[in-house]
Structure 1
Amino acid sequence: MKDKKTVYITRKNKFNTLYDKQKRIANLISIFRFATFIGGCIFSFFISRKMNSYIFTLISFLLWITLFLFLAKIHEKLIKNKNLVERIIHINEKGINRIEGKWRSFGEDGEDYIDEDHSFSGDLDLFGLSSLFQYINCTNTFMGKTKFKSTLENPSYSEDEIMKRQEAIKELGSNIGWRQRFEGEGVLKEDKQGHVDRLLKWCVDKKDLYSKNYIKTLTTSIPLFTIVFIILSFLMGGLYYYGALFFIFISIVALFNDKKKRNYALQTVFLYKKYIESYYNMISLIEKEKFRSEYLVSLKERIVENEGEKASTAIKELMNISQSISDRGNFFYVIFNILFLLDYKHMIKLEMWKKKWGKHLEEWLKVIGEFESLSSIAILSFENPDWTTPTIQKEKLIIRGKKVGHPLLGDRAVKNDFSIGEGEKILLITGSNMSGKSTFLRTTGINLLLAYIGAPVCAEEFTCSLMDIYTCMRISDNLERNISSFYGELLRINKLIEGVKTKKPIFFLLDEIFKGTNSVDRHTGAKILINKLSKEKVLGLVSTHDLELGSLEEHNSKVKNYHFKEYYENNQIHFDYKLRKGVSTTRNALYLMKIAGIEVEEG
């Protein structure tokens, strides 16, 4: 991982140098622009006074204004490139922080995606503070975040799809330059569902009025007659003056017709001008890259239509229209709008665009989102070359891992070997407080999830079968819903039972089962549930303080005992977090109470 930190540092320094260079050039161009403007004004004034010729004055004016606009164009491009470089610098800084274990300070943690009713996301720390989402998320678009969330919550890929995703993630992981450029181009502020929904709704909301031939004819002919009569009124006066006024009046009436709906449509495109430009840049990057893996190639094909036209061509066209519409905020636009019916011309162009491309935009945005999601997962592949690509077992239910650690703990992760499914179906994990039982359950669950989405897992070897995941770990009282922790636990157990009834393969994690009730009921309920589950198409881990449950192994060959233990040194308690066979023989609750300053009288 240190080598990867060096890569990030090297790239950061490289782009810092580039940023400083671009900043100097941009400042220099800005000075040239100002000098050109002042010099052009002075020169034009000088020409008009000395030459006393409108032609020479006009030529000089056109020359310096052309140079000024040329420099403005170059300056705008430099600013955009400088901003992109700045974003890539930030991306590399995030990479350094992630490797140094400082990723918990990343601003976006997916807290809005927390779902207490989900079958496993809360217990496996997929969203929220110190979550997998916070650790690797590099999505920026709404579609990207949605796709990444869906991938983590619903890993419903087949064995074949997982294998294809593994290759895709490896390829993206090794292509850090493309990934960072793609992420840098996608940095958008407030790309939210409402915004995307409005844009997609606009794409399929046809305004038939602007597709009619007579509207296209009138939009061309009325401005033509208006300009002709204006010219003739200056040259000949008389009735031509009234003719010009008549056609101007017609234009004004036309602009008031359907004004509200037209403004809404035009404002929609204008509001999303920067998003459309970002989508164009991201799609262009996808189109230009020559991907090798089948999964990425098939994704890329989704942004090329049957006619062979590229999505970037369509987005570029929409971007150009949106740039034209942005002039509507200009004071002089009102005059030109009356003369040339610009709003109508924009609407006609947009309707032509929607007719040809509108139905495809949502699909293109989904492809962008899929690439963002895969790029986020590819961070694991790039930064953890020592992690393994899991093997999916089709023939039987099994999980087998060698040196498996928790992916979010970094160097602090203690790694364990274990297997389940080769005879036993349920591992009963005992151990004292703080010994590592819950962490081990989460370690198994989150690595299983990573395997299901095509990611590498934090292990030296890992083999697993495809199963639906159910957990019951973090259950607390919910005052808003008037649900006690014990009832909440029962609801989660009921979900598991309902899942079992579907006869689908299931993997479950139960932490301190039935802890919300008395010891007798807890022991009886846990024993009945474990025995029942052991007869079904399931694998699972159950942690418990109830050491008496260890006797289940004697009567049920599908249950095996494992435990974690503590040791004492210099009157202090220590844990090695290593998984061992058998039932725990130690307890530390009284000792921990003494450490906390609570006097305990034994006897």
Structure 2
Amino acid sequence: MEFLFYILIVVLGLVIWSIFNENTVLKRMKRDLKERWGQVPEEEYTSEKFESLKAFYQSIMDDHLDVDDITWNDLDMDEIYKIMNNTQSSVGEEYLYALLRKPCFSNEELKERNRLMKFFHENEDLRIQLQMKLKQIGKLRQISVYEYMSRLGDQEAKSNFPHYLMAFGLILSVVFIFIIPQLGGVFTFLFVGNNIYRYYKRKAEIEMYFTVFAYLLRFLNHIKGIVKLDIPELRSYLETLKQDSTIFNRFKKGAGIVVSQNNSGNLFDMFLDYFRMLFHLDLIKYNSMLSFFKSNRQILQRIYINIGFLDSMIASASFRAWLVYYSEPILTKDTNPKLRVEQLYHPLLEAPVSNSINENRSVLLTGSNASGKSTFIKTLAINAVLSQTIYTSISKEYKASFFIIFSSMALRDSIFRNESYYIVEIKSLKRILDRINKDIPMLCFIDEVLRGTNTLERIAASSRILASLAKKNTLCFAATHDIELTYILETYYSNYHFQEKIVEHQILFDYILYSGRAVSKNAIKLLGLLGYSQDIISAAEQAAKDFQTNGEWNKL
């Protein structure tokens, strides 16, 4: 009796320790969520990770309206994504990636996103309750949840009849042992061998999909906790989740026979493992679960989208809290594109210089290297993307048309495709021309148009390409060193420039946008700052002067 009392004390102690440990973990999780709000998330990314993030987006991709791969890479949007990805689940981070690739053209939808972001920012306790539930769903490394679902949906559910036949045959053969022992024994031996062989053959074909089901079951189980949250501001989302997740109760029933693994090594697990091999219980359940999944795949996708959307809105609200300042954009549907932005800045720079611009015409940007041209147009493009995705402008004020957004900036030649830089560049520009939409204005950004060819043909071709863009439903921002373009295109393009000063053998940039074309000519002077001989500098200055006077280059 005393021995049982001690056992009871130990069991009680373990229960109390388990509860205390769980409470400690929850408190730590809550503290971490508070501390990480408005901070850059600590996540590790690999190329495989970014590939896995694309699966959901690729299923809903629109070649004509979305931020395409070239534009995404031009704007370093992977880096923008990294500082935004304060999601708690794999579903959330995959949805956030897709959200940033798909500019929205509806004020109603953007204002709903804004409402949720404001709510999550202003209601810390309720937000953390939801974040803790999302965190329990968790993140997978290097693997896409959506890709898992797609692969599973492509599988064909097979008939369970052969499995029933093998199980029934084994049972019947065992019964025969008590009637005709020799014959029953032979049949039992044959059925055991056949059933085990057939079991492992089929199991090897579908092993990875058992892992898929394991994650989906965990995903569905944790949604139960989310729908129980009492958050009136999220009622429509939670009600939909509740209705949809209830449908999957049948899917989850008895699913333990499929997803449980023999990890503990206890006798029950070992016995269950042999039972599966002989009677194919998990294969039978797998087929029924697969049939149910395929019949209700659209409902599961709706659950995925709802969870992903809420998680990504929390992350977007955290991103807003991290910004130095931001504004809610004013977006309009216009036949004539326009853009006005006040004190715009780049979110990735430690000490950004803000700039403002107000235009309803396309823009040419001139100035020397490193003066700020490329950074400005990238900042403007990033701002346009964020304004039409998370309703957040990295400026004091942003008023603009809804835009399709394309760029042609950080291009490279391709040795694998045997394409020169010039070929890559004209293909990139052609894709922009092909996607001009008469109903939705395009905002496009071009850095050093046709830099991959000679001066004469570059100016002739680039002026016509840029004029073609400006004449259509497009607002184009193009950075160039070719001052000639500012004269050729002044009917269609407004001129702005960045400038620098050389003071006491130092080059100083203020990174401020000025109206008009660039007038400073410091390229040759910069040679002196870098230690080139005075002979080279003087000869270069004289050659430039002679060309301006005669219109021809002197032979050396």
Task: Number of aligned residue pairs: give it.
Answer: 515
Amino acid at match of 1:374: M
| Distance in 2 (alpha carbons) for counterparts of 1:368 and 1:400 | 35
Judged with a 3 Å threshold, the aligned counterparts in structure 2 of structure 1 residues 76 and 573 are, in CA distance, closer, same or farther, namely same
Where does residue 423 of structure 2 map in the other structure?
A: 487
Helix, strand or coil at the partner of 2:406: strand
Out of 199, 204, 209, the position equivalent to 1:259 is 199
Helix, strand or coil at the partner of 2:77: coil
Shift of 1:80: 6.6
Q: Is the 8 A contact 1:428 1:543 kept in 2?
A: yes
Out of 106, 114, 125, the position equivalent to 1:158 is 106
Post-superposition Cα deviations, 1:271-329, rounded to whole Å, max 9, x if no partner, equal: 35763465246524532345556xx65544443336x8276x56865775556454696
Out of 527, 532, 537, the position equivalent to 2:468 is 532
Helix, strand or coil at the partner of 2:243: coil
Out of 143, 156, 159, the position equivalent to 1:192 is 143
1:305 and 2:249 matched: no
Q: With the length of structure 2 as denominator, give the TM-score of the two structures.
A: 0.76
Shift of 1:531: 2.0
Shift of 1:168: 2.5
Gaps of 5+ in 1: 1-39, 45-59
Where does residue 513 of structure 2 map in the other structure?
A: 579
Where does residue 408 of structure 1 map in the other structure?
A: 348
Q: Is the 8 A contact 1:279 1:315 kept in 2?
A: no
Where does residue 379 of structure 1 map in the other structure?
A: 318
Where does residue 57 of structure 1 map in the other structure?
A: none
Q: Is the 8 A contact 1:251 1:341 kept in 2?
A: no
| Distance in 1 (alpha carbons) for counterparts of 2:252 and 2:14 | 21
Helix, strand or coil at the partner of 1:454: coil
Where does residue 125 of structure 1 map in the other structure?
A: 76
| Distance in 2 (alpha carbons) for counterparts of 1:268 and 1:523 | 57
Where does residue 431 of structure 1 map in the other structure?
A: 367
Judged with a 3 Å threshold, the aligned counterparts in structure 2 of structure 1 residues 182 and 525 are, in CA distance, closer, same or farther, namely farther
| Distance in 2 (alpha carbons) for counterparts of 1:110 and 1:367 | 27
Q: Is the 8 A contact 2:103 2:385 kept in 1?
A: yes
Post-superposition Cα deviations, 1:141-182, rounded to whole Å, max 9, x if no partner, equal: 554444333222232553332222222233334445246425
Q: Is the 8 A contact 1:429 1:543 kept in 2?
A: yes
Shift of 1:508: 0.7
The root-mean-square deviation of aligned C-alpha atoms, in Å, is 4.5
| Distance in 2 (alpha carbons) for counterparts of 1:447 and 1:157 | 15
Q: Is the 8 A contact 2:199 2:280 kept in 1?
A: no
Q: How does 1:321-470 map to 2 (within 5 A)?
A: 321=257, 324-326=260-262, 333-335=269-271, 344-347=280-283, 353-354=289-290, 359=296, 360-384=299-323, 386-396=325-335, 397-410=337-350, 412-421=351-360, 425-470=361-406
Post-superposition Cα deviations, 1:47-78, rounded to whole Å, max 9, x if no partner, equal: xxxxxxxxxxxxx5xx8778777766776676
Post-superposition Cα deviations, 1:20-56, rounded to whole Å, max 9, x if no partner, equal: xxxxxxxxxxxxxxxxxxxx9xx87xxxxxxxxxxxx
Judged with a 3 Å threshold, the aligned counterparts in structure 2 of structure 1 residues 198 and 79 are, in CA distance, closer, same or farther, namely farther
Where does residue 138 of structure 1 map in the other structure?
A: 86
Q: How does 1:94-243 map to 2 (within 5 A)?
A: 98=40, 106-108=43-45, 112-113=50-51, 118-127=69-78, 131-139=79-87, 143-174=91-122, 175=124, 176-178=127-129, 180-182=131-133, 184-190=135-141, 192-193=143-144, 196-197=147-148, 201=152, 205-209=156-160
1:566 and 2:500 matched: yes
Where does residue 287 of structure 1 map in the other structure?
A: 227
Amino acid at match of 2:348: L
Helix, strand or coil at the partner of 2:203: helix
Post-superposition Cα deviations, 1:212-245, rounded to whole Å, max 9, x if no partner, equal: 9x779969x959x98xx9xxx9xxxx98999998
Helix, strand or coil at the partner of 1:401: strand
Judged with a 3 Å threshold, the aligned counterparts in structure 2 of structure 1 residues 487 and 109 are, in CA distance, closer, same or farther, namely same
| Distance in 2 (alpha carbons) for counterparts of 1:366 and 1:543 | 39
Moved more, 504-513 or 545-554: 545-554
| Distance in 2 (alpha carbons) for counterparts of 1:67 and 1:347 | 43
Q: With the length of structure 1 as denominator, give the TM-score of the two structures.
A: 0.71
Judged with a 3 Å threshold, the aligned counterparts in structure 2 of structure 1 residues 593 and 117 are, in CA distance, closer, same or farther, namely farther
Shift of 1:569: 3.6
| Distance in 2 (alpha carbons) for counterparts of 1:286 and 1:432 | 55
Q: Is the 8 A contact 1:400 1:420 kept in 2?
A: yes
| Distance in 2 (alpha carbons) for counterparts of 1:66 and 1:319 | 33
Q: Is the 8 A contact 2:422 2:451 kept in 1?
A: yes
Post-superposition Cα deviations, 1:566-599, rounded to whole Å, max 9, x if no partner, equal: 1344432211111111111113322333333333
Judged with a 3 Å threshold, the aligned counterparts in structure 2 of structure 1 residues 168 and 211 are, in CA distance, closer, same or farther, namely farther
| Distance in 1 (alpha carbons) for counterparts of 2:162 and 2:104 | 43
Post-superposition Cα deviations, 1:176-219, rounded to whole Å, max 9, x if no partner, equal: 5246425532443435149953786179743442799x779969
Shift of 1:406: 1.2
Judged with a 3 Å threshold, the aligned counterparts in structure 2 of structure 1 residues 356 and 201 are, in CA distance, closer, same or farther, namely closer
1:590 and 2:527 matched: no
Out of 543, 558, 567, the position equivalent to 2:479 is 543
Where does residue 521 of structure 1 map in the other structure?
A: 457
Q: Is the 8 A contact 2:362 2:470 kept in 1?
A: yes
| Distance in 2 (alpha carbons) for counterparts of 1:81 and 1:258 | 47
Amino acid at match of 1:158: S
| Distance in 2 (alpha carbons) for counterparts of 1:507 and 1:280 | 41
Judged with a 3 Å threshold, the aligned counterparts in structure 2 of structure 1 residues 345 and 310 are, in CA distance, closer, same or farther, namely same
Judged with a 3 Å threshold, the aligned counterparts in structure 2 of structure 1 residues 282 and 199 are, in CA distance, closer, same or farther, namely farther
Gaps of 5+ in 2: 59-66, 543-556
Helix, strand or coil at the partner of 2:521: coil
Q: Is the 8 A contact 1:163 1:454 kept in 2?
A: no
Amino acid at match of 1:197: Y
Amino acid at match of 2:85: N
1:275 and 2:215 matched: yes
Helix, strand or coil at the partner of 2:246: coil
Judged with a 3 Å threshold, the aligned counterparts in structure 2 of structure 1 residues 502 and 491 are, in CA distance, closer, same or farther, namely farther
| Distance in 1 (alpha carbons) for counterparts of 2:168 and 2:229 | 45
Amino acid at match of 1:108: Y
Judged with a 3 Å threshold, the aligned counterparts in structure 2 of structure 1 residues 275 and 201 are, in CA distance, closer, same or farther, namely closer
Amino acid at match of 1:279: F
Q: Is the 8 A contact 2:447 2:478 kept in 1?
A: yes
How much identity, in percent, do the aligned residues show?
A: 22
Shift of 1:132: 0.8
Helix, strand or coil at the partner of 1:165: helix
Judged with a 3 Å threshold, the aligned counterparts in structure 2 of structure 1 residues 243 and 298 are, in CA distance, closer, same or farther, namely farther
Q: Is the 8 A contact 1:441 1:541 kept in 2?
A: yes
Judged with a 3 Å threshold, the aligned counterparts in structure 2 of structure 1 residues 320 and 394 are, in CA distance, closer, same or farther, namely same
| Distance in 2 (alpha carbons) for counterparts of 1:76 and 1:211 | 45
Q: Is the 8 A contact 1:378 1:455 kept in 2?
A: no
Judged with a 3 Å threshold, the aligned counterparts in structure 2 of structure 1 residues 476 and 94 are, in CA distance, closer, same or farther, namely farther
Shift of 1:125: 0.7
| Distance in 2 (alpha carbons) for counterparts of 1:591 and 1:463 | 40
Q: Is the 8 A contact 1:216 1:348 kept in 2?
A: no
